[in-house]
Every structure is written in structure tokens, then in C-alpha cells.
């Protein structure tokens, strides 16, 4: 999976379809960075969220993992004049190895897990569970289809189908449908401590924490 082919056009495509909604959702829980010591960004893309982190301010070490070299180049160009302590790694998350000297207490995955199948998301979440401190907060921003009966629900289902087909074709994502993030997170031992959404629950930002030390895999 790589977003190199759409990196330069991704931001304007997003705004055409969603206006500023995705940007709002990304930033719902950005204030958490103030108290973080180590931050892991998964599939952060072109650096817009890092720019927002810079505005908020943090002394945390930041590790940004993305499989797109072009997205990383754009991200680096956005933050080169900031004081953020950021290291970019160009690698698929499935191949990324967590090191002993970097234990994130805050993780952001904005519109990233929807690129994977549900089984792949479960594997990713379980890896995070094993590699992170017990107090880690995992912020996930993503889509969810709460119901299909209404006209808006039908529209969002069609939009989701088109988006997935587009990114399967141009970015080689493995997802064929939206993973059910709430169901996966609860089944893997995480509990939601905060949830905000737009568009009747279609666009979401959740904060998850592990549900008791004994339940950590």
C-alpha cells in the first residue's frame, strides 16, 4: 500500500468531498499532545496534523510511520521550520518494528485503519497493545456507517463504496469494506473514553484506552 500516486492531490480531493469535516475530526483530540511524552502517528500523510500539533505545542518525541515516501516529503516540507522533535519512517506498519527506547503514550491513527481488512486491523491493534505502556491513549479518526435505511445513510454507503474502490485501484489498499472500529476495539480489550462525531456518526474520533492491565494481550 502506498499513497504516492495521490499524495499531491489528496488534500484538495478531501476538501471537494468533505469540505473541512475531516480536518475538524482530526483535531477533536489534538490537545492531548500537551501532556504526552512520546507520540506515534500512523499514516499521518502530508503533515497537516503535525502542523496543528506545532500550533498546540509539545515537547514530546514524535515518530511518524507512513508507507508513502511522497507523503513524507510533503510532511517534512510543512514542519521544517517548527520546533517539533519528529522522526519520519517510510515503511508499511506491518513491517515496522517497535523499539525498546520508544514507548508511545499517545497514538493517532487518522483515517488510516480503514485501509485494512478487519483481520488486519485486529492484528495491528494487538501489536499496539503489546508494544505500548498500559496508560497509552489511542486516538482513532475514521468512518462508521451507523444505519443504511435513510437517504443520507444510502448516500454515505455509496460514497464509502466509491472511496474504497478508488483507493484500492490507485493506492492498493486491502480493505473491501469499512472495518467496524468500535466492535474491533472492544473485542481486543480497549474501552472508549471519549467520542465525538460529525454527520450523524459517519465521521468519528474516538479515544481508546486498554481495559485493565490484566486484559492486555
Whether 124 maps to a domain, the answer reads yes
pLDDT band at 216 (very low <50, low <70, confident <90, very high): very low
Coil, helix or strand for 158? helix
Domain presence at residue 215: no
Cα–Cα dist 155/139, whole Å: 27
Whether 175 is in a domain gets the answer yes
The span from the CA of 76 to the CA of 21, in Å, is 24
Q: By the 8 A CB rule, do 135 and 190 touch?
A: no
CATH of the domain at 77: 3.40.50.150
pTM: 0.94
Q: What is the per-residue pLDDT across 93-136, written as a single tens digit (0 to 9) for each?
A: 888 888 888 899 999 999 999 999 999 999 999 999 988 888 99
Grid coordinates in use for 1? 500500500
Residue 203 lies in a domain: yes
Query: What's residue 96's pLDDT?
Result: 85
Q: Which of 97, 184, 193, 187 is nearest to 142 (CA)?
A: 184
For the stretch 163-214, pLDDT in tens is: 999 999 999 999 999 999 999 999 999 999 999 999 999 999 999 998 644 3
Counts for the chain of helices (H) and strands (E), in that order: 7, 7
88: buried, middle or exposed (CB in 10 Å: 19+, 13-18, 0-12)? buried
Task: Give the model's pLDDT for residue 211.
Answer: 66
Domain of 118 in residue numbering reads as 4-210
Q: Is the pLDDT of residue 215 over 80?
A: no
As a 3-state breakdown, the chain gives helix, strand, coil percent values, each rounded to 5, of 45, 20, 35
Question: Is residue 109 one of the residues assigned to a domain?
Answer: yes
Work out how many domains the chain is built from and give that number.
1
- Inside any domain, residue 176: yes
Q: Is residue 217 part of a domain?
A: no
Mean pLDDT across the chain: 92
DSSP state of 105: S
Report if residue 216 sits inside a domain. Answer: no
Amino acid at each position: 500500500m502506498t499513497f504516492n500516486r495521490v499524495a499531491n492531490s489528496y488534500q484538495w480531493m478531501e476538501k471537494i468531498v468533505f469540505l473541512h469535516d475531516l480536518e475538524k475530526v482530526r483535531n477533536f483530540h489534538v490537545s492531548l499532545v500537551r501532556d504526552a511524552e512520546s507520540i506515534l502517528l500512523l499514516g499521518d500523510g502530508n503533515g497537516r496534523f503535525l502542523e496543528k500539533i506545532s500550533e498546540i505545542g509539545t515537547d514530546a518525541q514524535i515518530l511518524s510511520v507512513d508507507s508513502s515516501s511522497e507523503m513524507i516529503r510533503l510532511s517534512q516540507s510543512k514542519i521544517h521550520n517548527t520546533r517539533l522533535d519528529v522522526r519520519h519512517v517510510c515503511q508499511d506498519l506491518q513491517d515496522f518494528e517497535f523499539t525498546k527506547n520508544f514507548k508511545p503514550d499517545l497514538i493517532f491513527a487518522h483515517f488510516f485503519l480503514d485501509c485494512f481488512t478487519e483481520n488486519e486491523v485486529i492484528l495491528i491493534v494487538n501489536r499496539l497493545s503489546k508494544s505500548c505502556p498500559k496508560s497509552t491513549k489511542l486516538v482513532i479518526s475514521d468512518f462508521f456507517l451507523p444505519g443504511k435505511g435513510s437517504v443520507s445513510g444510502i448516500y454515505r454507503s455509496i460514497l464509502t463504496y466509491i472511496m474504497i474502490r478508488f483507493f484500492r485501484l490507485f493506492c492498493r489498499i486491502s480493505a473491501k469494506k469499512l472495518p467496524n472500529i468500535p466492535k474491533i476495539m472492544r473485542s481486543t480489550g480497549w474501552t472508549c473514553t471519549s467520542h465525538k462525531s460529525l454527520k450523524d456518526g459517519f465521521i468519528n474520533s474516538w479515544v481508546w484506552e486498554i481495559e485493565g492491565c490484566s486484559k492486555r494481550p
